[in-house]
Structure 1
Amino acid sequence: MDTPFKVMFRQPKFKSEDEVIHINNFVTDEKSLYAMPDADIPTVIENIRLTLEFLSEDNQARLYMDGLDTLPTTLLGENIDDEAYILPTHENLVILYDNVTDKNKYLETHSEGYYPFIPGYYRIRVLQNGVNYYARLKVKPKQVTEEQWVAMREEIEETLHGLAQDLIHRNATIAQNENLPIPVNLLRKLYIIKNDYYKWISALKAINENPRMKIKKEYSLIPKGKAATVDANSIRYKARHPESANYTYSPNNIRSYDLLENQWMKKILSFILKEVNELLDYMNTYKDKVKREISVERHFHSENHSQVRLKQKVIDEIKEYETFVKRVRGYCLPVLKSEWMENINDEEPMYIPHALQLDQRYKRLHKLYRLLKNEEMSISLASQYDYYWKRTDLLYEIWGFLQLVKALQHESVGFKVTKGWIFNVNPGNQALQVPFLEPGTTIEFVKDDVKINLVYDETLPFKKEATTFEKPLFSTNNHNRPDARMDFYKDEDYLGSVIVDFKYRPVWHIWNNSKLEGYKQNHTMRQLISYGSNLTSPFTYNKKYPGLWRRLKTVHEVWAMYPSHPANWNTKSPFDSYQIRLMEVTPQQSQENLYTSLASAIKGVVNSEI
């Protein structure tokens, strides 16, 4: 579309002048942006010199782009939402990336914003005359880093589906151990059977005590004079059978249970028993497997060894599942073998009678049957996740947040989720949608008497009056929207927080010790330092030390989480001076350092001396 401005990137081509990449694919609707086919998206190559030119007659026009916050602050403006932007360049070039040699990368005068864009999609937004124009730029890989980019999306989808399955497990579980690896299809059946368990069992009992029936006439020969009833059929029989003159063909009213709805009940109970027996077979098989594993472990470890105790705990939980499933079988089997049920036809019922829907008892059992009969439970992701897949920085952000969710639950850290986000969802019997990770989403974790609220992308207020005990932080600086934070509570007191920002860039564009002087610091360094110095709370140790919050440190640590990259080098940690922890966390690599660091940070907050 025609625009009142121009945006151009330049990259050198081999032995030729720079190639100009014009950005012409602007739209004014952001949703249309993400529907744009790859063929319409301009591309540049990673790790090759990249410059930007932004031309506009409106000197107040602003260009926003992922990664601009790594440029020196002298080149940038910053809006109220802490977003970095550049003004029109008037035919000057802004260097976004250039190769940095060993000779110049440590020089203080080396102030250009060298940002090696990692493969993926980057959003460009131009604000002019109150109108937002959106476009996208694709960075093609020069190295094998695209595999990690693809791996992040796959891991996010697998993790979200895993969390959904965990949720089903939580709702289906009878015991407390959540590590029992029952397949999701069996868990789903357990959940369905357990959900509304007392209602359908009550319906089954009511049917057994008073099943639907009809009155049916049944004729027999009764000695003459003893017949209680004579009707037209009796008279016709006597006329046709004179040899039975001493007997009367007399009708007798009897109850008949061979109705279509009861045929359905027989079919449903047989099906439930089949499902229950399959569950029991699986549990028995798995229990035997664990017993064999325990037997092997006992050759090398004592009874008190963690592996032996863990496996024994699994067996104990299986036994609790078995108790529940056997109780279900104990209700169904006697009804199926009852006298009234034995006279019901075994043929497959041909259609569903109205009585199966009108009688609430039968309707409830039929609903249970239909839910169990449906073999699949649909797990889907909210549609907003489609945007994340096309924003590399956001892709790493949500991936990193999920690493924190998993790390807090890792055995070396030991916290359990109690509520929040997907863990608040009440799964349906046939479908579950993973909710979008909205800004401000809070997940609560608990271990003993310590509670951690893990909060995603929440904008913090600038006034202490706007804080609450559950949302305790406010900012005295314009940096007020960390990607994630962990708020710590113990004994009904707020202990402080750990702030986390996800930076999908090399470490030397996050922290450079040669640029500690204020005017040399880039936007990211100032942001991290500000989080540690300018976030505070009137609730900090308010129970233990009321009124002293201004003297107490609220943010114990600030984390910059980033992936490995060929351009990374070992930099001196700023932790001792600034309590800023540089955390390399990368897809397809071990996260043991994350678990160790998180356990250390938690210990530091909980055991901090005031």
Structure 2
Amino acid sequence: MITRSERSGEKRNRIFSPGRRNRREKKLPFRLSFITKGDGGRVYPFTRFVNGEEAVLEESAGVSLVENQDIWLRFDGPPDFRFTMDGLDVVTLPHAEKIDGQSYLRPGWKGEPFLLFEGRDFPLVPGYYVITVTGAGKIWRGLLEITPKFMGRQSWQAMREELVEEIKDLSFDFMKRSIHISRSMEGELGLKSAMLLRFYAISEESDRVVQVLGELARTANSRIVRKQGVVRSNRDAAGAHIRCASGKSREGTPVLPVICSEVTWNVAENRFAKAILQKLDENLRSFVQEIDDHARRLGKVQDANAGYYKNRDFKNGANALSHFEKYRARAVHIRNAIRMVAEATWFHEAESGMPETLPMTVFLDPRYSLLYRLYRNLKNPADSLSVSSFYQFQWKRTDKLYELWCFLQFIKALEEKGWDLATGPAVVQEDGKYRLSSLEEGTEITLSRNDEKIRLIYDGTVPQHASDTDRETDPLYTNNVHRRPDLRMDYYRNGAYYGSLVADFKYRDIFFLWRDAARSAGIRTQFNAYRDMNTKFYRGMEESDSIRNSRPVKEVWAVFPKEIPPRGDEDFSLRFISLAPGLKANGNLAEMVERYIVSLNEN
């Protein structure tokens, strides 16, 4: 049946002329096709490949298939070639080869296709899946797109848009942390996010801005211009220094017209700098006024609480007032430096008014570009946040997009329960904007709450031997090949290690796959390995007792993008967690994480 429909499918899919198609296929030393049962066994030849890992993420999909149907694969090529794709790591195929936890398929099978994914038991979720073929020392990559039947694409796009905003929010949280403003402090300050972003911009740039203003107070860019003037004709103009005079002269004095050179400060970048400094001074004046208003209100509250100087609110208020004074002083310092520049000769000579287009010198001269950047970030604070290009490369890797999105949901869930960010990726400046450096493999974020501490590790590798562990950074170990979960949450209380939560983010319909023991054998082994991780640092135990008697990972969470009632598998200490944009279950995550933390504190 597949053979008959395959032939008819080839006729329908002939996009190129026979000659052009043959020439294109000759460039590939293998042949790859997908076959779907849902549309009568139609054949989809896959020929759109690129070489680079980043290039594939900018490429269009080579084949698009509708979700929830059986997908067959035909792969022909030299015997040493191998095929793999996203999703093969969680299914069990009879002829697959496992290399570093990834499944690879050999070509051949006598030219017959074989079932790759079964729509009933393991439907691929809508998104992009990277296909990889290796052989002869080369790597070919392409994209397979699974399209939704109903509203799945909107949820998929919403996840992408939501991730952008949440990365910006996380950047902002770390920016606040770097200027020593905690969540409780933020409440005491009573400031909106725009004001806090201005705090950060001034904190980051003030020293450099004052230095630049000191230089501009002494000198600025100038040009030599030629202009027409006159000299008195009764002087030896050839032998004396010619100084241009105006066209007017005393009546009766003979003059000669000349073209002479003159230095001018009225150049485009100085006109721009003058306009920027005037506007920057206005912004800083408003900034100082806003600080004074907040300080005045907070001062009244402090006066009312003066009798309770040991009270936590009073201490937070005093700390907040100290922050106000510090940032007010920095803003005033910059304003004073601007006044010094305003007394310079070039400042008076340069015309006022912001030019319609930015002079090129603004981008070439770091002094002018720094002033423009500070002005822009103070005027529109929200625009000072951006998203790393790292994430742009992940948009077409839907499984990676889902992993990043889920990781941020756990951070949000902890913050919702009163946890404060302590350490994490650096906030860097790029093209005049602030952004969080990429959440790459092994990224660690630390949060604190009273005497508790949590370390969240994204896609980190667990040590293989007890001797490689460390109480503070790597308390767990396992000798299993499955030792790289998407998320690990290490929990500490009063400096003691109390256990971990291990979670994997599966952009698959993992619950339905789990119900088929044979098809899910691979992920059952994986989750078992996570559950059986060990430690020699459990609470206050001796090392030998900890290794023999502790169970630091009480549960493993399988997170996937489909809403189901709360489910689990006690035999595997496994809990299924529904998480995706728009799901009602999203609101349960914070409480579930908190309950797990409580369980770690129980004997």
TM-score by length of 2: 0.69
Residue by residue over 1:44-97, the C-alpha shift from the partner in whole angstroms, topping out at 9 and shown as x without a partner, is: 111233222223340x53221111234335453311x21122333433433244
Tell me whether 1:585 sits opposite 2:579 in the alignment. Answer: yes
3-state SS in 1 of match to 2:394: helix
3-state SS in 1 of match to 2:33: strand
Deviates more, 1:390-399 or 1:5-14: 5-14
| Residue 327 of structure 1: how far off its partner (Å) | 4.6
Q: Which residue of structure 2 aligns with residue 557 of structure 1? A: 555
Equivalent residues of 1:464, 1:537 under 8 A apart: yes
2:420 partner amino acid: K
Q: Which residue of structure 1 aligns with residue 544 of structure 2? A: 547
Quote the Cα distance in structure 2 between the aligned partners of 1:146 and 1:342.
56
Quote the Cα distance in structure 2 between the aligned partners of 1:582 and 1:341.
64
Tell me whether 1:471 sits opposite 2:477 in the alignment. Answer: no
Quote the Cα distance in structure 2 between the aligned partners of 1:441 and 1:414.
22
Please show how residues 170-209 of structure 1 align to structure 2 within 5 Å.
170-172=177-179, 177-178=185-186, 182=191, 185-195=194-204
Please show how residues 129-148 of structure 1 align to structure 2 within 5 Å.
129-148=136-155
Residue by residue over 1:95-137, the C-alpha shift from the partner in whole angstroms, topping out at 9 and shown as x without a partner, is: 244453xxxxxxxxxxxxx321222211111223443221211
Counterparts in 2 of 1:441 and 1:510: CA distance versus 1, 3 Å: farther
CA RMSD of aligned residues (A): 4.5
Q: Which residue of structure 2 aligns with residue 68 of structure 1? A: 88
1:10 partner amino acid: I
| Residue 288 of structure 1: how far off its partner (Å) | 11
Tell me whether 1:441 sits opposite 2:443 in the alignment. Answer: yes
Deviates more, 1:189-198 or 1:550-559: 189-198
Quote the Cα distance in structure 2 between the aligned partners of 1:27 and 1:199.
45
Equivalent residues of 2:91, 2:520 under 8 A apart: no
| Residue 4 of structure 1: how far off its partner (Å) | 2.9
Q: Which residue of structure 2 aligns with residue 361 of structure 1? A: none
2:34 partner amino acid: F
Equivalent residues of 2:445, 2:457 under 8 A apart: yes
2:171 equivalent among 160, 164, 167: 164
2:60 equivalent among 37, 41, 44: 37
Residue by residue over 1:183-204, the C-alpha shift from the partner in whole angstroms, topping out at 9 and shown as x without a partner, is: 5554343234344768988999
Q: Which residue of structure 1 aligns with residue 286 of structure 2? A: 278
Equivalent residues of 1:382, 1:433 under 8 A apart: yes
3-state SS in 2 of match to 1:87: coil
3-state SS in 2 of match to 1:601: helix
Q: Which residue of structure 2 aligns with residue 52 of structure 1? A: 73
Equivalent residues of 1:73, 1:521 under 8 A apart: no
Quote the Cα distance in structure 1 between the aligned partners of 2:469 and 2:321.
48
Q: Which residue of structure 2 aligns with residue 259 of structure 1? A: none
Quote the Cα distance in structure 1 between the aligned partners of 2:143 and 2:211.
59
Please show how residues 23-422 of structure 1 align to structure 2 within 5 Å.
23-38=46-61, 41-58=62-79, 60-72=80-92, 74-79=94-99, 81-88=100-107, 89-100=109-120, 114-172=121-179, 177-178=185-186, 182=191, 185-195=194-204, 274-280=282-288, 282=290, 322-324=324-326, 327=329, 348-350=348-350, 372-375=374-377, 378-410=384-416, 413-421=417-425
Counterparts in 2 of 1:47 and 1:373: CA distance versus 1, 3 Å: same
3-state SS in 2 of match to 1:136: strand
Structure 2, unmatched stretches of 5+, are: 1-24, 219-271, 306-310, 353-365
Percent same amino acid among aligned pairs? 26
Equivalent residues of 2:561, 2:578 under 8 A apart: yes
Counterparts in 2 of 1:25 and 1:320: CA distance versus 1, 3 Å: same
2:599 equivalent among 591, 600, 604: 604
Counterparts in 2 of 1:115 and 1:90: CA distance versus 1, 3 Å: farther
Counterparts in 2 of 1:23 and 1:314: CA distance versus 1, 3 Å: farther
2:561 partner amino acid: P
Quote the Cα distance in structure 2 between the aligned partners of 1:26 and 1:365.
46
Quote the Cα distance in structure 2 between the aligned partners of 1:455 and 1:468.
15
Tell me whether 1:456 sits opposite 2:450 in the alignment. Answer: no
Equivalent residues of 1:52, 1:93 under 8 A apart: yes
| Residue 493 of structure 1: how far off its partner (Å) | 2.9
Equivalent residues of 2:291, 2:328 under 8 A apart: no
Equivalent residues of 1:53, 1:93 under 8 A apart: yes
Quote the Cα distance in structure 2 between the aligned partners of 1:310 and 1:8.
67
Counterparts in 2 of 1:173 and 1:49: CA distance versus 1, 3 Å: same
Q: Which residue of structure 2 aligns with residue 227 of structure 1? A: none
Quote the Cα distance in structure 2 between the aligned partners of 1:314 and 1:155.
33
Equivalent residues of 2:536, 2:543 under 8 A apart: no
Quote the Cα distance in structure 2 between the aligned partners of 1:271 and 1:123.
50
Residue by residue over 1:521-567, the C-alpha shift from the partner in whole angstroms, topping out at 9 and shown as x without a partner, is: 4322221122102x2233334x43233232121222211111126xx
TM-score by length of 1: 0.69
Quote the Cα distance in structure 2 between the aligned partners of 1:347 and 1:122.
59
Counterparts in 2 of 1:473 and 1:343: CA distance versus 1, 3 Å: closer
| Residue 141 of structure 1: how far off its partner (Å) | 1.7
Quote the Cα distance in structure 2 between the aligned partners of 1:344 and 1:420.
44
Tell me whether 1:492 sits opposite 2:495 in the alignment. Answer: yes
Structure 1, unmatched stretches of 5+, are: 101-113, 213-263, 295-302, 304-308, 353-363
Quote the Cα distance in structure 2 between the aligned partners of 1:419 and 1:385.
21
1:30 partner amino acid: E
Paired residues in the alignment total: 496
| Residue 19 of structure 1: how far off its partner (Å) | 0.7
Quote the Cα distance in structure 2 between the aligned partners of 1:332 and 1:481.
49
Counterparts in 2 of 1:475 and 1:276: CA distance versus 1, 3 Å: same
3-state SS in 1 of match to 2:389: coil
Tell me whether 1:11 sits opposite 2:36 in the alignment. Answer: yes
1:501 equivalent among 501, 504, 517: 504
1:603 partner amino acid: V
Quote the Cα distance in structure 2 between the aligned partners of 1:582 and 1:195.
44
Equivalent residues of 2:175, 2:427 under 8 A apart: no
Quote the Cα distance in structure 1 between the aligned partners of 2:367 and 2:52.
50
Q: Which residue of structure 2 aligns with residue 536 of structure 1? A: 534
Counterparts in 2 of 1:21 and 1:316: CA distance versus 1, 3 Å: farther
Quote the Cα distance in structure 2 between the aligned partners of 1:342 and 1:98.
74
Give the structure with higher Rg (CA). Answer: 1
2:35 partner amino acid: R
